[in-house]
Structure 1
Amino acid sequence: MKYYTALSLLLLSVVSSAKPAYSPAPSQSTLPAPQQVLGFTVGDWHARHDQIQRYFEQLDAASARAQLEVIGYSHEQRPLLQLVLSSERNMQRLEQIRQQHVAAARDGATLPDDAPVVIWLGYSVHGNEPSGANAAMLVAQYLAAAETAEVKQWLENAIILLQPVLNPDGHDRFALWANMHKGAAPVADPQHREHIEPWPNGRPNHYWFDLNRDWLLLQHPESRARIAQYQQWLPNVVGDYHEMGTNSSYFFQPGIPSRNYPLTPKRNFELTAELAQFHAAAFDERGQLYYTEESFDDFYVGKGSTYPDIQGSVGILFEQASSRGHLQDSINGPLSFSATIQNQLTASLSTIRGAVAKRAELLAYQQSFYKSALQQARASKIKGYMLTESADKTRLAALLDVLQRHHVQVYALSRDWQDDDNSYAAGSSYYVPLQQPQYRLIKAMFSTEKTFKDNTFYDVSAWTLPYAYNIAFTALNREPASSLLSSSWPAAPAKAPPLTAGAYAYAFNWQDQQAPLFLQALLAEQLVVRAAMKDFSALSGDGEISLPAGSMVVAAGLQQQQDWFERLQRVQQRFTLPLQAIRSGLTPTGSDLGSHNFSPVQLPQVLLLAGPGMSSTEAGEAWYNLERLAGISPSMAEPQRLAQLDLSRYSHIILPDGNYRSWQDTEVTKLRQWLEQGGVLWGHKGGAAWLARVGLLKTGVWQGEEMSSLIPADNLQYQDKELLAGKQRIAGAIYQAELDLSHPLTFGLTSNRLPVFKNSTSLLQPSHKPFVNVALYSEQPQLAGYTAAEYLPRIKQSAVLLAHNAGKGRVIAMTDNPVFRGYFYGSSRLLVNALYLGHSFSADAG
């Protein structure tokens, strides 16, 4: 026993004594070091967000070079941190420097000769890429404590904005996993449990979104806080620190030259290459492997390294091979967590070294960027874009909010305006001029390009914001008179006036995005609600009012709760949606209020399948949008548990994209029985394909090799392999669906054309039975983004949305993801309608 105890102590001693020595490090500093605050050396354990925060707080309290700010909070209410670092002289006049910097960039003001360059270092936007977050402590310590001439020169000539953990919720999810599997000695075996994260892993945020795709879309508080700081500071250089596969080395940009965004100026790529010389020198000195101009592109402008490029900054992507734990074998030998941290420290300091050396060039470039943007805007045939939406002011307001967060100037039409044959109404039309500093960003936001120099994309090829929000937009060749434009309008509609008691019924329009949330709140209060299946008019205190199909009616005679009117009043005061008081059940036009054309609406009880074998991103998108747009927090369960679940608890089951390979006859039979008893089953993408494959959805699917075979593969050389794969893939493009507006699943949508997002080659075949095809792709389906010409004939033959009976239940299937990245508000209405109106139609598929 004594022998084994001694051996164990010796082993622990050897392991604990192998402490990493990071370089460079400050010497003889009185400031707190990370290990003093953490209780361990950086890299020994995965530091949690609260531990990183505690270190930054102590550094802030002790150093005159550092200022810590809480710029927001994550979904799980973790603080979002930003540490500002500079010389003591600069810190004393920080706001003055910021104002001068922004005025010079966007307004052309003259900068003083000693103006500092602004450097942004952002770490670990993917939670399971923790080397950056842990290195951030070492970077901050070195900049705050080092007394070398070089560091003093850096701080005198730079303002450094350091955001240590861009995704604290995902970061802590991964840190817990890695730490809970750490042994007395690190296990390098790639098959070790530590290196195999469970679904959904630590990469995404609380709702399983990839925050590095949200810089432009701004659907999450982490992104909104980050962009507020970006727009406040307009950094000259943005370092975006990530991790990649374990068998890689280290990547820094330039990326693949042919895949840069075309609106990014050439000078940006030249500066990126010049800064790369500093990274290369630093890695050469340490003898570390690295590479450039492969693997990654700079096309989608909603990522951390490309969003800056379209706004006068130089964004640089850094990718470190990941240890995905404390130590892992790789083709380059054992890769330790501390080694990954060291490389991120090296790249962070080389970024600062290069940016300070190129200070004058970077400041001049930023000024010339915005100056040339205004010149290009003046020369452009297109003068701006008009946004128009009259039926859904909430959805329009959501788009306007995103534009303004990016400092895009938007003007409301104060009077009606006619442009040739097009009329634009005041109150529902908003003008976005191109003649403004954000010219290039606006062009990117509104882009409808379909052809590209390189058809291979690391991410999506289209992201047109008005299409996503289903807001009509027009490119204008002339501007409205300035007297017609107002730069101010109500930030939010006024609350609805108090209700008058004693009405026969109360009704609200289903077209506004608030309507489903309003309905859910009414149902939660146990009010009885009916949905109009057809247009009708009714008599109110103000005369006759018209209400379209889908409008919701709360009839006094149906209510079961004695205090129902007080409940109705409470709910109404939470929303700005007008609630109409109706005097009589006898209607001037359309069905009377007691007709069967007013369908009962029930409070949905939703089960969302979410677990291994499925896309966590798409499951998260469904979860997030059910809560935001329908007011429903779903139950969630792994597909592997379906056989054990009591499905009678649920009115609706949602199958997002996934393979569902674990389901056999038992699960199919159980779903079929639940359906036939009255359930509503929704599936999209892989979920829809699975429904078709097992016969629950009565249609066929075009996908896989059948689609790929449409692309000729004859007479190709090996070097053409990537080109062929790019053509065979739909990386992400926007298409046009044509809707049957008389179908309940389309209620609330006012146009029979709806943009939808497609990022797979799977296609549902249309039904030959009447009334089953709710939406088909249009004859000219491609709106924006790349699609191989060979695919278009097949796409326009396909169905977007199918719905039919299954016993007492309903099956609803969509080819595409209706809630892509959370910002496709337009197509999300189809999923919301399935929840509240899923029993309001009947269609026999045979």
Structure 2
Amino acid sequence: MLWGALVLPALAQNSYYFPKAKNLDPSIPTPEAFLGYGIGERQTRYDRVVAYLEELARVSDKATIETIGHTYEHRPQVILTITSPENHGRLERIRQEHLLLTDPAKAAPDMANMPALVHLGYNVHGNESSSTEVSMLTAYYLIANQDPETQQHLQEAVVFIDPALNPDGRDRHTNWVSMHQGNPAVSDPADREHNEVWPGGRGNHYWFDLNRDWLPLAHVESRNRLEFYHKWLPNVFIDFHEMGTNSTYYFEPSKPYSSENRLIPRSTYDGLNVLLARYHAEALDELGSLYFTKEQYDNIYPGYGSTYPDFQGGVGITFEQASSRGNKQENSLGVLTFAFTIRNHLATGLATVKASAENRETLLRHQREFYQSALADGRKNGVRAYVYGENHDATRLRKFTELLLAHRIEVYELEKPLTADGRKFEKGKAYVVPTEQPQYRLVESIFAKNKEFDDSVFYDASTWTLALAYNLPHAGLKSKATAGKRVTELAPVAFTVPEQTRYAYLLDWADYNAAGALYLLQNRGVITQTVFKPFTASTSSGPKAYQPGSITIPVASQKISADSLYKVIQEVAAKKQISFESVKTGLSVQGIDLGSNNIRTLKKPEALILTGQGVTSYEAGEVWFLLDQELHMPISKVDLSSFPRLSLSRYNTIVLVNGAYNSLGKTAADKLKRWVQEGGTLITFKSASEWAIKQGIAQGNVVAARDTANGELRIAFADAAPTEGAQSVGGSIYEVDLDITHPLGFGFTSRKLPVYRNSTTILSPAKNPYSTVAQYTKDPWLSGYVSKSNLDKIRNSAALLVSDQGQGRVILFADNPNFRGTWYGTNRLFFNAIFFGSLIKTPGTAVAAEH
């Protein structure tokens, strides 16, 4: 069975994709006329997609196009707005009236003549490429079709078309398929066309999954998109995806209750999802296409394109189409063609426009009631407000507050100092977030901890408490009376540019931006040192205490002049918005002096990360992203296959993220071991830590993830998925005890640190008493799902170890400190490993090794 024609003559395109369309305006160019080939014959480059949408906007009074930002690779992010000419003439008024629905403090507008807002978001995973082709067909059909029904739909709806939520990933995949496309096309699943090389086109420039980034907003594409989203707050958002080639088609409702978020009103799931599903089923029934609902996928995590709208009074829906991953591919039902996948997404997308127009008042009322019920639910909450603050790290506090404001969450200044949950919050260094506000449900998602679930199997993370991710002290309050002035924007960061000195400059390591400032200094050739003991200096601003990790910059030791050094200090302070101080004497007020042996010279990191087949691309991308964006520090990305031939002499730091490294073999493992023993710093995450231990590169013990099965135990086959799934650690948060006197703990002010865990890598504490830098507490569970057996294994296990090997060391993380680029609380541990790793020499190492 051939699922749809592969090559369609231009005249046959409309009859295949629009068999019922009888009145298409000939003045509107078809996609195939513009591109020079039929949709479904090949993958279309993103620039040609944008060019076609621009042409539609040029020739039609039903469409306008705008650029909302640019990706890392500087591709434009565009939105094509399609509606009736009459609506185009009053778009700003439509927008302003629509936003009244979301403000319970204002009177509701007259919904009788208000259009529904529909946002069609295509291709967030770059190699799920059919939907971007659909964006052109959908735009063409809505603009060119002159039948009364479509004209009525455009009068009753405003449609936003985002042709590719991930343009960079899309073009990576498009280029791969295009360069391997055969003529005739090859349907063999083993063909190179269907099997991209690592990392594939799924992620963005930094290999991140943008479909998880709606909440954390780590990336520029997400921030640009969210700004547009909140400008309109659409009623319906469709997130177009692809899944395995042997699947059929999926649309919501998802699995009832167990894959739904308890904060969302039942009217979203039982009402709107079911209502729209009827239209989607009808569209696919007409084509004879198979589909399923209610079985899988996740509506719990607020950070998907199909869930974030649920938290804004709209309805978000995932469409999943079986993927041809190229132009045609064999599957269990025959041969799946690219054109067939496009046609299915086209049908459900157009059905969404129809459903939204025909049920616009239902959608509008739902949005109004959603925000009203948010206030009511907030009033019922025993927590009337959350207070959060940070007394030592202004940058981390600012980043978190900027995140809340981006989500349109009401934030207020702390009116006066207070103590809550044993924590002190200072005015000017803390904020208050009331729960009784329109964004109540997002507030709870970001601050509240959750340990109660309807299921034990999760599609993705089971918790996303961002206040813990940022490691910000926070507490629930019984009153919101402590709230002062509302924060609408943050004032420019105040930083100190010190007086020029001929002796030394000092940089406090507690601020998150200190790591980026340090690398900028090192990159300019500045000699830098760090302190291992606290001291109080007599600075140009008065006495100031400095903790271990603080950076000293001696003037006389530099290879550049004192005047040139001062200019560098000024530039770095301004670029990183961080304060330096100057001292005229090395004699401290208290503690060690600036010539102490407890102050050690730092090496500039020369880092490498191994990449390629078997390495978890997300985690590799997170390392690359953080070093690029936060430190402006280059890191060499080297494929595993190249490692045996690579000279390691230029590198002093190597990073291995989660992955399978057995392909390196014993010779390569021995090569890495020698490099460590000669003075290198190896940093490993999760399974890479297990591999390093098994290869003898590091010392340690790995705890078995699962107990040996009882031979007499029998479980029903149908229960396999929930039974096995419950044993995974899909994403939950725990507390560790961190040694803040250790170089890896420098800059932290509390021994209690939340960490994110999404694997079953469990390490035993080291035999050497100084080598376990971070250890899970005896009662570590903070938020998210974990089985009792896994929790028992995690208790008191090691989260961060150092294994000295010869002149070097291996720094072993049981978890990923850089999860999704947004765990600011723990990625500082990674930065410490990068900068301070070469200085670590664990006491008692020789003694420990003898045992």
- Normalising by structure 1, what TM-score? 0.96
Q: Which moved more, 1:533-542 or 1:676-685?
A: 533-542
Please tell me whether the aligned partners of residues 19 and 41 of structure 1 are also in contact (alpha carbons under 8 angstroms).
Answer: no
Question: Does residue 34 in structure 1 map to residue 31 in structure 2?
Answer: yes
| Shift in alpha-carbon separation, 1:802–1:155, aligned structure 2, 3 A | same
Map 1:110-121; keep pairs closer than 5 Å. 110-112=108-110, 113-121=112-120
- Give the AA of the match of 1:111: P
3-state SS of paired residue (1:637): strand
Change (3 A) 1:206 1:703: farther
Please tell me the residue identity of whatever aligns with 1:23.
Answer: F
2:72 and 2:386 mapped to 1: Cα distance? 34
Q: Structure 2 CA distance, aligned partners of 1:16 and 1:363?
A: 42
The match for 2:64 is: 67
Distance in 2 of aligned mates of 1:712 and 1:85? 63
Paired position in structure 2 for 1:404: 405
- Alpha-carbon RMSD: 1.8
* 1:152 to 2:147 alignment: no
Change (3 A) 1:418 1:764: closer
Residue number in structure 1 paired with 2:466: 465
In structure 1, what is the Cα distance between the partners aligned to 2:458 and 2:284? 29
Alignment of 1:204-603 (within 5 A): 204-257=203-256, 258-269=258-269, 270-417=271-418, 423-482=424-483, 484-488=484-488, 490-497=490-497, 499-562=498-561, 563-603=564-604
TM-superposed deviation, 1:772? 0.5
Amino acid in structure 2 at the alignment position of 1:106: D
Q: Paired residue for 1:675?
A: 676
Could you tell me which residue of structure 1 aligns to residue 184 of structure 2? 185
> How far is 1:762 from its partner?
1.1
> How many angstroms apart in 1 are the aligned matches of 2:366 and 2:574?
51
Aligned residues of 2:254 and 2:297 also touching (Cα < 8 A): yes
Change (3 A) 1:340 1:420: closer
Q: Residues 803 and 712 (structure 1 numbering): CA distance in 2 closer, same or farther, change over 3 Å?
A: farther
Q: Distance in 1 between matches of 2:296 and 2:7?
A: 39
Q: 1: CA distance between counterparts of 2:491 and 2:126?
A: 34
Q: Distance in 2 between matches of 1:602 and 1:96?
A: 59
Distance 1:713 1:138, change over 3 A: farther
Sequence identity of aligned pairs in percent?
39
CA contact (8 A) 2:8 2:41 kept: no
Q: 1-side partners of 2:574 and 2:275: how far apart?
A: 58
CA distance in 1, matches of 2:632, 2:736: 26
Q: Residue 9 of structure 1 corresponds to which residue in structure 2?
A: none
Question: Which moves more between the two structures, 409-418 or 330-339?
Answer: 409-418
Name whichever of 512-521 and 802-811 sits farther off: 802-811
Contact 2:739 2:774 in 1 (8 A): yes
- 1:659 is displaced (CA, Å) by 0.9
Amino acid at match of 1:383: R
Residues in 1 aligned to 2:699 and 2:486: alpha-carbon distance in whole angstroms: 52
Secondary structure of the equivalent of 2:664?
A: coil
- Match for 2:453: what amino acid? F
Contact 2:212 2:304 in 1 (8 A): yes
Report the CA distance shift for 1:19/1:665 in structure 2 as closer, same or farther (over 3 A): farther
Read off the aligned partner of 2:326 and give its amino acid letter. G
Pair 1:49 & 2:46 matched: yes
Aligned equivalents of 2:544, 2:429: Cα separation in 1: 20
Structure 1 contact 532–550 (Cα < 8 Å) conserved: yes
Asked if the contact 2:496–2:581 (Cα under 8 Å) also holds between the matched residues in 1, the reply is no
Deviation at 1:564, TM superposition (A): 2.9
Decide whether the 8 Å contact of 2:321 with 2:341 is kept in 1: yes
The DSSP-based 3-state class of the residue aligned with 1:40 is coil
Distance 2:743 2:179 in 1: 50
Cα distance between partner residues in 2 of 1:82 and 1:777: 47
Q: Residue 241 of structure 1 contacts residue 317 of structure 1 at CA under 8 Å; is this kept in 2?
A: yes
Q: State the Cα deviation string for residues 691-734 of structure 1 (Å, max 9, x = none).
A: 11111111011244xx2548999342222111111211111101
1:833 maps to: 832
Deviation at 1:579, TM superposition (A): 0.8
* Contact 2:10/2:32, CA 8 A, preserved across alignment: no
CA contact (8 A) 1:516 1:631 kept: no
How much has 1:416 moved relative to structure 2? Answer: 2.3
Deviation at 1:570, TM superposition (A): 3.0
Mapped partners of 1:91, 1:464: distance in 2: 41
AA partner of residue 807 (structure 1): G
Distance 2:716 2:548 in 1: 57
Q: Which residue of 2 aligns with 1:7?
A: none
CA contact (8 A) 2:535 2:592 kept: yes
2:79 is aligned, of 78, 82, 85, to 82
Assess if the C-alpha contact under 8 Å between 1:42 and 1:134 holds in 2.
Answer: yes
Matched residue, 1:744: 743
Deviates more, 1:574-583 or 1:753-762: 574-583
Identify which of 73, 97, 109 aligns with 1:100. 97
Residue 651 (structure 1) aligned with residue 652 (structure 2): yes
SS of corresponding position for 1:82: strand
The answer for the alignment partner of 2:613 in structure 1 is 612
Q: 2 CA distance for matches of 1:363 and 1:537? A: 61
User: Within 2, Cα distance between the matches of 1:180 and 1:420?
Assistant: 60
Q: CA offsets, 1:750-797, max 9 Å, x none?
A: 110111111111111111212100000011111110000122121013
1:588-643 per-position Cα deviation (integer Å, ceiling 9, x unaligned): 22211111100111110000111111111111111111223333120010112111
Cα 1:209–1:792 shift into 2, 3 Å: same
Q: How far is the alpha carbon of 1:261 from its aligned partner?
A: 0.9
In structure 2, what residue type is equivalent to 1:448?
Answer: K
Segment drifting more, 687-696 vs 717-726:
717-726
Instruction: Please tell me whether the aligned partners of residues 283 and 348 of structure 2 are also in contact (alpha carbons under 8 angstroms).
Output: yes
Cα drift, residue 420 of structure 1? 8.9
Assess if the C-alpha contact under 8 Å between 2:248 and 2:292 holds in 1: yes
Indicate conservation of the 8 Å contact 2:120/2:162, yes or no. Answer: yes
Distance 1:153 1:423 in 2: 59
Give the counterpart letter for 1:457 in structure 2: F
Give the CA deviation at 1:134.
0.4
Give the structure 2 partner of residue 3 of structure 1.
none
Which residue matches 1:795? 794
Following superposition, the deviation at residue 459 of structure 1 comes to 0.8
444-453 or 106-115: bigger deviation: 106-115
Determine if contact 2:7/2:38 at 8 Å carries over to the other structure: no
Counterpart secondary structure, 2:596: coil
Aligned residues between the structures: 830
Distance between the aligned counterparts of 1:758 and 1:719, measured in 2? 28
Q: CA deviation at 1:218?
A: 0.4
**Aligned equivalents of 1:348 and 1:426: distance in 2?**
50
Structure 1 residues 345-384: Cα deviation after superposition (integer angstroms, max 9, x where no partner): 1010111111112111111111111111111111221101
TM-aligned CA distance change 1:422 to 1:821, over 3 Å = closer
| Shift of residue 501, structure 1, vs aligned partner | 2.4
Give the Cα separation in 1 of the matches to 2:491 and 2:125.
33
Letter of the 1:797 partner, please give it.
N
Alignment CA distance shift 1:422-1:680 (3 Å): closer
Whether the 8 Å contact between 1:711 and 1:727 is mirrored in structure 2 is no
Deviation string, structure 1 residues 521-575 (Cα, Å, up to 9, x no partner): 1111111111011111111234322111111000112112233333333333323
Kept after mapping to 2: 8 A contact 1:605/1:650: yes
Q: 1:828–1:411: structure 2 CA closer, same or farther, 3 Å change rule?
A: same
In structure 2, the residue matched to 1:22 is 17
What SS does the corresponding residue of 2:545 show, helix, strand or coil? strand
Q: Do the aligned partners of 1:621 and 1:821 also contact (CA within 8 Å) in 2?
A: yes
- Helix, strand or coil for the counterpart of 1:662? helix
